[in-house]
């Protein structure tokens, strides 16, 4: 395999965070990873204290064989107990956990691994762990393929591992709650910014606690008698209206001022469907349960705090260099190109060239499209700095 394209990786990330909201969608994620890597894929959790595999998802394996594995062969798995002592995020090569020659002679290999299509030289990565429990994902192609191109499979897991970890945390936070307005509000309250959900007519449908506090305590935004969300200053209102109607040329983020304190805030208007994406997007379906339908997520934060998405996360998600990801993180935080250049001691031409490279890799043509794409993939569950 040649590794993920930027578009394929973005689609996988989108599916992972869909499963973060709805655990029933993990098999869809496993199937998508399997297609993208042309490898058998297994997602599983292990009770290390008792050597029991609690869950095992692989859409390429006969469900009856999986049942037999969970009931019988999991107890013979030579890899699981050894893997318990390995750190999260480290690649787990099967031949380093147990001798391939020994495993190849075992009942476990002949009655489960071989019929399921797992090679002796497969690779996995742990993305969650408690004292006697861990969750992992593993990839296995043919023995010949794994030996010819092992690094590529490892790189794919390293790029995905952090997102699986984050998604599992969201699973835990939301539990098995139904995808309803109540659970949507719960997710809104996990966003570390003032968050407002608007319909197509700008009517306020939901706001998190920080959003409600912003409406009550500082004159930045207000609602009119029709429940439409508006900026308090007339000039800010004109710019906000243009941004929300998608007719304004102003880039992201949009600066607005408090008429009470004079404090400057930054607004990001994020469509609740991913522009240009053909992937079944659970977030869009989720918010469509609201009546009327949600159209925009508006995030507002003081400029001196900003929205923080780690550059390492951006680099992994979109295949950017460290310098390119650092530039994008700065733009997300509300800095201008000249401010980024000044902060890092770079020339304006260097920063512009980096931005052009970012556009080409992510497949966008403007800064506003770039920020929407980053937020659409990563932003809904990435907290800003606390106020």
| Per-residue pLDDT tens over the stretch 77-90 | 999 888 988 999 99
Model confidence band, residue 181 (pLDDT cutoffs 50, 70, 90): very low
Q: Which domains does the chain have, with CATH numbers?
A: 6-174 (3.30.450.80), 177-304 (3.30.450.20), 307-387 (1.10.10.10)
Model confidence band, residue 386 (pLDDT cutoffs 50, 70, 90): very low
CB contact at 8 A, 75 and 51: yes
CB contact at 8 A, 141 and 119: yes
Instruction: Give the residue with greater pLDDT, 347 vs 179.
Output: 347
Residue with tokens 């794994």: 146
H or E element that contains 64: helix 63-71
pLDDT at 136: 95
Q: Coil, helix or strand for 87? A: coil
Q: For the chain, list the strands marked E by DSSP.
A: 40-47, 52-57, 91-93, 123-130, 133-140, 194-199, 204-207, 221-223, 229-231, 254-257, 264-271, 294-302
CA distance 326 to 329: 5
Mean pLDDT of the chain: 81
Model confidence band, residue 382 (pLDDT cutoffs 50, 70, 90): very low
Residue 375 has pLDDT above 50, yes or no: yes
Model confidence band, residue 267 (pLDDT cutoffs 50, 70, 90): confident
pLDDT at 383: 38
| Per-residue pLDDT tens over the stretch 204-226 | 988 888 899 899 888 899 998 88
Residue 3 has pLDDT above 70, yes or no: no
Residue 20 has pLDDT above 90, yes or no: no
Closest CA to 334 of 367, 362, 358, 366: 367
pLDDT at 290: 58
Percentage of the chain beyond pLDDT 90 is 33
pLDDT at 91: 93
Q: Looking at mean pLDDT, say which of 52-56, 114-118, 182-186, 223-227 comes out highest.
A: 114-118
Least confident of 31-45, 100-114, 194-208, 370-384: 370-384
Closest CA to 170 of 372, 332, 26: 26
| Per-residue pLDDT tens over the stretch 269-322 | 877 755 555 544 455 555 555 555 777 888 888 877 766 677 877 887 788 898
CB contact at 8 A, 233 and 259: yes
Rounded-to-10 torsion of CA 277, 278, 284, 288: 140
Mean pLDDT for the stretch of residues 171-198: 62
pLDDT at 247: 44
H or E element that contains 277: none
Closest CA to 122 of 137, 105, 102: 137
Residue 384 has pLDDT above 50, yes or no: no
- Please state at what angle helix 6-21 crosses helix 26-37, rounded to 10 degrees: 160
Residue 93 has pLDDT above 90, yes or no: yes
CB contact at 8 A, 331 and 358: no
pLDDT at 21: 76
| Per-residue pLDDT tens over the stretch 95-149 | 999 999 999 999 999 999 999 999 998 999 999 988 778 999 999 988 777 777 7
pLDDT at 127: 92
Residues pairing with 200 in the sheet: none
pLDDT at 367: 79
């Amino acid at each position: 395999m040649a590794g993920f394209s930027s578009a394929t990786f973005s689609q996988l990330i989108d599916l992972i965070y869909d499963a973060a909201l709805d655990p029933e969608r993990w098999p869809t994620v496993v199937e998508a990873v399997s297609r993208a890597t042309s490898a058998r894929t297994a997602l599983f959790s292990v009770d290390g204290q008792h050597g029991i595999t609690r869950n095992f998802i692989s859409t390429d394996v006969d469900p009856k064989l999986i049942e037999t594995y969970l009931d019988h062969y999991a107890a013979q798995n030579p890899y699981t107990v050894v893997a318990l002592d390995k750190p999260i995020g480290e690649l787990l090569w099967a031949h380093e956990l147990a001798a391939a020659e020994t495993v190849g002679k075992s009942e476990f290999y002949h009655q489960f691994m071989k019929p399921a299509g797992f090679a002796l030289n497969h690779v996995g990565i742990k993305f969650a762990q408690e004292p006697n429990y861990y969750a992992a994902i593993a990839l296995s192609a043919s023995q010949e393929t794994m030996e010819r191109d092992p690094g590529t499979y490892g790189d794919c897991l390293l790029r995905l591992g952090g997102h699986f970890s984050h998604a599992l945390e969201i699973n835990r936070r939301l539990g098995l709650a139904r995808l309803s307005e109540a659970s949507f509000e719960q997710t809104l309250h996990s966003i570390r910014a003032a968050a407002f959900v608007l319909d197509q007519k700008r009517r306020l449908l939901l706001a998190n606690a920080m959003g409600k506090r912003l409406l009550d305590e500082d004159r930045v935004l207000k609602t009119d008698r029709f429940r439409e969300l508006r900026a308090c200053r007339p000039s800010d209102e004109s710019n906000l209206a243009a941004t929300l109607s998608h007719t304004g040329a102003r880039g992201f983020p949009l600066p607005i001022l408090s008429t009470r304190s004079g404090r400057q805030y930054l607004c990001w208007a994020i469509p609740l469907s991913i522009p240009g994406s053909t992937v079944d997007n659970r977030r869009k379906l989720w918010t469509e349960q609201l009546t009327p339908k949600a159209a925009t997520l508006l995030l507002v934060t003081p400029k001196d705090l900003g929205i923080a998405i780690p550059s390492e996360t951006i680099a992994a998600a979109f295949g950017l260099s460290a310098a390119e990801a650092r530039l994008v993180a700065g733009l997300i935080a509300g800095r201008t190109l000249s401010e980024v250049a000044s902060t890092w001691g770079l020339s304006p031409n260097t920063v512009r060239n980096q931005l052009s490279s970012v556009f080409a890799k992510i497949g966008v043509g403007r800064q506003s499209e770039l920020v929407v794409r980053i937020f659409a993939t990563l932003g809904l569950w990435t907290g800003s700095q606390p106020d």
